Amino acid sequence: MPLTDPVLPFGLRDIKLTPINADGTLATTVDLPVAQTLSFSEAEDYEELRGDDRLWAIHGKGPVVEWELEAGGISIEAWNVLSGGTVTSSGSGTAEVKDFLKKTTDQRRYFRIEGQSIADDGGDVHVIIYKCKADDTLEGEFGDGVFFVTSCSGRGLGDASDNLYRITWNETITSISLTSNEIQEIISDATGGTFTLTYSAQTTGALPYNVSVAALTTALEGLSNIAPGDVTVTGAPGDWIIEFKGTLAGINVSQMTANVASLTGGSLTIRTNKQGGS
């Protein structure tokens, strides 16, 4: 049926945060779990011109969005988007550890907020605040008999296209669109020799068949088109997982190729597990 004003949003179905890279591209979208509230208001400071005992003109200094959000529990990935810092993972199975570290030199980053509320007519309403920074307190409290709640507030600015915020009413419920980093996997059962990797016409030096995760990271970041922080290598020798991040975040990058002529005792393949981009 046709959309008819007014829309009647009810509840809060979802909030997602998408970091913004230094070049303005979007990194991997992070879910804000157990989302409870997203409030926002448009604000603007105005300058008045007075003279001859009267008010002559009023001019705005540019609108901003003042926002607040709350969510249950702690998502380390979401906290990292809000606060800046470094997330590291180690171990596997029952010994897996995920760690967030914030240093005094880490700056808070810009990100996009998108919230979804279900409409009373069966559709939904989305709110996007295009360029946000949590420039106020980021907080939570551990307390007896209560759940931890993450809360923060900040301001939203216009992005590179002068977009400040958007409210969209969908007749049909529509999930929040995601951006994702490209993830490629290198699998090998070789028992000796060396191989090289090529990314967008740039080739590494010879890599041992059992090259360590750290050494593979160094080799890839040594290429002229991959900067430090543009890749994260996990896994183990024989099954390396490469996630493209930094300036390559959220982009459908070229799949790497390998020269395996010098490998012995087995083969090596490269596959794309997740294509980057929206």
Task: Report pLDDT for 1.
Answer: 57
Task: Report pLDDT for 211.
Answer: 97
Domain ranges of the chain: 9-170, 183-274
Res. 278 pLDDT band, cuts 50 70 90? low
Q: Please answer whether residues 78 and 31 qualify as being in contact, where contact means their C-beta atoms are separated by less than 8 angstroms.
A: yes
213: exposed, middle or buried (C-beta count within 10 Å: 0-12, 13-18, 19+)?
A: middle
pLDDT tops 80 at residue 271: yes
Instruction: Round to whole Å and give the CA distance between 254 and 275.
Output: 10
Contact residues for 271 (Cβ-Cβ < 8 A; gap 6+): 184, 185, 187
pTM of this structure: 0.71
Q: Please answer whether residues 231 and 244 qualify as being in contact, where contact means their C-beta atoms are separated by less than 8 angstroms.
A: yes
- pLDDT 10s digits, 50-99: 999 999 999 999 999 999 999 999 999 999 999 999 888 877 778 888 89
Residue 77: strand, helix, or coil:
helix
CATH number of the domain located at residue range(s) 9-170 in this protein? 2.30.110
Residue 39: left (phi > 0), alpha (psi -120 to 50), or beta? Answer: beta
Residue with the bigger pLDDT between 178 and 113: it is 113
